[in-house]
Structure 1
Amino acid sequence: MAEALLTVKDLVSCPVCLDLLKDPVTVPCGHSFCRSCINDCWDQEDQKGSYSCPQCRHTFTPRPDLNKNTMLAEVADTLKKTKLQDAPPVDSCVGPGDVECDVCTGRKHKAVKSCLVCLLSFCEAHVQTHFKCPAYKKHKLVEASVNLQEKICPHHDKLLEIFCRTDQKCICYLCVMDEHSSHKTVSAAAERTEKQKQLVETQGENQQRVQLGETKLHELKQAMESLRRSAQVAVEDSEKLFTDLIQSIEQRRSEVKELIRAQEKAELNHIEELVSKVEQEIADLRRRDAELEQLSHVDDHIHFLQCFLSLFAPPGSADLRCTMIRPHVSIEELRNLLSGLKEQVEKLNKPELIKLGGVINYVN
């Protein structure tokens, strides 16, 4: 219940003084403020002729009339009666990377602005003094920073507002009258404007280089992809060619083997026939030699002469000395043929294979 009431309290708190609304009024953009707080803010904007909402910065011309927000006034009065206005403020606590308020005592709150004159950082509540009090109007407020001392001259303890182009460093106005008196100096704002131009030019050049780099990167990636595709096609084509070549060689090997075996079989059959004939002729000659040996011992002259005439006639078979054997398969000729084929295949070394494959494309 307390948390709910605290949330209601936040809704009826003035964004300027951070206290409960006193005589609450609502501006045209819908935000509500204490009548005195919004009048003080707009009194400071009379010279500009336009008036802005301190919360959303919406501008109005001319100065709007302020009407009391009765409902918010009743809620604020109710909270005052329940004394919930004494509850601890629900400000943002300091988190990692945040700047602490230098004015808060006890629990520190997150600073929202830093003053380059006071060299202090202020939370939302304590910075209001710089908006309300005329004595602080000329103080320069910046986003909360932990490095305020870096903006102060270490020699004169004055704000660094001038840039020395000779020494390329920030200085204060007393430095200009001292060791930088003969140097070329400009205001920090003027140098920032000049440097901002250079920064924009550098950014433009950098962006152009990035675009060129991205274009080149895209081209290189396309070249890589094209190379991969070409290499894959070359691999597939070479695989097919070598597969066909191997199949062709296997087929030729089988055919040569069959041819050798067929020729072997034919030659063996021919030789076997010759062996059979020679064996038969040898047998006939041995039989005849036996008959002649037997005849040489015959005593009957008539019988000897009669038998001699029949045994003396030569047999009808061919002379063994004239028997010719056809030469066997020429292995040497076949070996020479296959060696030539092997040499042709071995000539395809790696550089020639790459050249034939057409894989490598040089990318400039």
Structure 2
Amino acid sequence: MHMTTHTHTHTHTHTHRADRNKNLCVLSSPSDCCHFTLDPNTAHTHLHLSEGNRRLEGRRKVQSYPDHPDRFDECRQVLCREGVSGRCYWEVEWSGRWEVGIAVSYKSISRKGGGAKCGFGRNDQSWSLFLSSSSSSFWHNNKETKLPLVASSRIGVYVDHRAGTLAFYSISDTMTLLHRVHTTFTHTLYPGFRLNSTSSVKLL
């Protein structure tokens, strides 16, 4: 599949004040709020799911998951059960010293083997924000866009599938746009995450 993606990076502080105890869409656009759960059938065996499949932790010890054709067997990734084909906003809390990937992906992304064909942001099937304590970047089709360091542990993601918009926000006392993509989405998008053994994410 060939896809031309035009990306635009903005750093803009919105006037929304973020209540740390509430998902921001509850305060602004309730109709766009989305609830996601992680799909254990896609989870790499070094990823541990908990809290009703809404929290994900990297583990050094292999988890006892059964074989499944949807499971990532090399890339330490997981997809959500629910997809996005309209407008949708959700938030994630992340922690860890090492890199965390917060992504959206087509279901057709490769699950078997390693390298660019399965890695979020390394192919034309997926788009990913990568965060760590020392760097921030956005990846799509194996092209990197370096971003300013993100201090907040809370990230908002907005998709307007029909308009071809994907946006990532840093949520603290204010809502700051980190990166926005304008493209054409050809299939349903699924939220996904990439972790190593010292990191965790939680769907809020």
Give the TM bin, normalised by the shorter chain: under 0.3
Structure with greater helix percent? 1
Q: Whose relative contact order is higher, 1 or 2, with alpha carbons under 8 Å and at least 6 apart?
A: 2
- With structure 2 as the length reference, what TM-score do the two structures score? 0.21
Name whichever structure is richer in strand by fraction.
Answer: 2
Normalising by structure 1, we get a TM-score of: 0.14
